[in-house]
Amino acid sequence: MSSQQAPASTHLRIAGMRVSHWVTGLGFGIALAACGSDGGGADAGTGGAVGAGGALGAGGSALPSSGGARSGGAANSGGAANSGGAASGGAASGGAASGGAASGGDTSAGGCGLGGLCAEVGGTAGTGGGVASGGQGSGGGGSDTCEKGTTTGNEVLFIGESFVEASTIPEETTKLARAAGSLGASDSYVDKSVSGTWIGNGASNSIPAQYRNNSNGVRFVLMNGGGNDCWQGGQESDRTNALNAASQLFEDMAENGVEKIVYFFYPDPIGGNFASLTACLNLLRPDMKALCDGATELECNWVDLRETWNGHPEYTSDGIHVAGPGNVPTATAIWNSMEENCVAP
């Protein structure tokens, strides 16, 4: 494999880290309850101003009393925070802890303070009021949703070296995506990995080049890299070049519209012939993880395959590459990260 290197060029600042780039390339309510509203009328919903218990409860005028807002008032049966509010019971039983200021907060019916005090003269939420029962982000109008089936196969790219190319990891990951409803039955992820490639040597088929030559329309990248930089290289300069090339690659991906990466790093080599490789990977792993974790222009999700492979020598036939039994567990580890982090939903 060619090891000619291009001169260092730019720098990328990632989470306070300044990484020299190398271009050398591897196998990688309440909708705010109306406090003291005039007239006590409900602005929305069918629960009325305060529900069945009247403005302050079934006969109380003091809000905290047993006949006030707690037992039959603003928050009990049909009140400002009951059936559509922060939780069942709104200000009384849902209160600040269950659905009030803590979990529902200012965005779910029943918030506005401990015990829902703002519902004194009629709430604005009524039945189904506020943003939603769980507040923002739990299915009630929040923006942090992960909608299945919004990604096509050609928007997801595998890159790497023989750990990927000589395996069925891309095919097994595709099967998992189909089963989960993230891909159509005949759709597949794209695999452009090439055996024997580095991240940091600048070759025309390097891992960064695999992305750049196939980047059109790609939103998500599933990758490994650094193994051959250690196996065929192994020097400190090779690790530095790998880190610099990965940094530049992340920057290029972000500029081209890649949203998220899953970077799955190697399990420990198995057998007595890989002491130098293991030592190099142990040095490269934490630095590459820090680079991934610190990426700010896109989201990089780190998967350490040691957690999947440890105790399973049957996952490899030669100590470093994936054998038959190892394909599904490895793909599953990648897919679990994808589901957890909404990668290619």
Measured CA distances, 157 to 5, 207, 264, 289, 345 (Å)? 25, 12, 14, 20, 14
If asked whether residues 68 and 84 sit together in one domain, one would say yes
If asked whether residues 205 and 97 sit together in one domain, one would say no
Last residue of a domain, one of 72, 105, 130: 130
- Collapse the DSSP code of 18 into the 3-class scheme (helix H, G, I; strand E, B; otherwise coil) and give the result: strand
If asked whether residues 23 and 34 sit together in one domain, one would say no
Beta-strand runs (E) in 73-223: 156-159, 190-191, 220-223
If asked whether residues 335 and 203 sit together in one domain, one would say yes
| CATH number for 231 | 3.40.50.1110
Q: How confident is the model at residue 144 (pLDDT cuts 50, 70, 90)?
A: low
Percent over 90 (pLDDT), the chain: 57
If asked whether residues 238 and 211 sit together in one domain, one would say yes
If asked whether residues 230 and 115 sit together in one domain, one would say no
If asked whether residues 174 and 108 sit together in one domain, one would say no
- Is the residue at 136 inside a domain? no
Residue 330: name the closest of 266, 278, 281 by CA: 266
Q: Find the domain containing 79 and state its range.
A: 30-130
If asked whether residues 22 and 95 sit together in one domain, one would say no
- Is the residue at 141 inside a domain? no
Average pLDDT, the chain: 72
Percent over 70 (pLDDT), the chain: 58
The whole-number pLDDT of residue 55 equals 36
- Is the residue at 278 inside a domain? yes
The whole-number pLDDT of residue 103 equals 37
Confirm whether pTM is higher than 0.85: no
- The number of domains in the chain is 2
- Average pLDDT, stretch 216-221? 98
If asked whether residues 212 and 318 sit together in one domain, one would say yes
Q: How confident is the model at residue 145 (pLDDT cuts 50, 70, 90)?
A: confident
Q: How confident is the model at residue 10 (pLDDT cuts 50, 70, 90)?
A: very low
Q: How confident is the model at residue 152 (pLDDT cuts 50, 70, 90)?
A: very high
- Average pLDDT, stretch 138-144? 41
Q: Higher model confidence: residue 312 or residue 145?
A: 312
Q: Higher model confidence: residue 150 or residue 90?
A: 150
